[in-house]
Amino acid sequence: MLLKFLLLLGECDRTELLSPHFTFLNFYTPDSHINRMLNLELMNLKFLFTYAFLATTFVYNTTLHADAQPNNSSGTIDGTVIYPSDYLPAQKVCAMNIQTKKMLCVETKQSQKSYSLKVPVGTYNVFAVACKKSYRTEKTCSDGYDAKRAYYNESVRCGLTYECSQKPGSQRPIPVKVNAGKVVQNVNPHDWYSH
């Protein structure tokens, strides 16, 4: 733009530029060719600044809107863990997708009573496995887990009593449906007693 402006100056009469009465207002005579050219350049500058401002505003608002949106592809499963002993070992709580059979797990430390597991949207069976050895509360399991699984099933929802365990289907895992951005609470894989 500056180059074009200098070229426009080049179109002026040299004697006019050297005149002691010359000002830039000389360009702005109604019939001046220079005036029309300058007006065009000023309009181009105004358009460019307006476009840049609108583009910046759009990008900012789009980013802000995206940051404010919740994660639409995952949810969270929350619950507690127990163990039939005088201590609570480190455990691993897993959610297995019923359709894909893919498992996602989270580890707890010794004496940790609750867990929280973020998973993609879907339907899951949830179970826990206990660490083979006892660990201090600041450590998770590093020596592997027992094969026995404690599921979140109908017996757990019933109350884990003897009567509950005798009901048909009491050992059947409860499908846990996870929706986008939602937390499913009280999914407790407590049934260590089922065979």
CB 95 within 8 A of CB 73: no
Alpha-carbon dihedral sign for residues 109, 115, 121, 126: positive
Residue 180 CA to residue 144 CA, distance in Å, equals 32
Spell out the residues 6+ positions from residue 142 whose beta carbon is closer than 8 angstroms to its own.
135
Tens of pLDDT, residue by residue, the chain (195 residues): 544 444 444 544 444 444 555 444 444 445 555 556 655 565 665 655 565 655 555 544 544 444 444 557 999 999 999 999 988 999 999 999 999 999 999 999 999 999 999 999 999 999 999 998 877 777 888 888 999 999 999 999 999 998 998 899 889 999 999 999 999 999 999 999 886
Whole-structure pTM value: 0.63
**74-184 in CATH: which number?**
2.60.40
What residue spans in the chain does CATH classification 2.60.40 cover?
A: 74-184
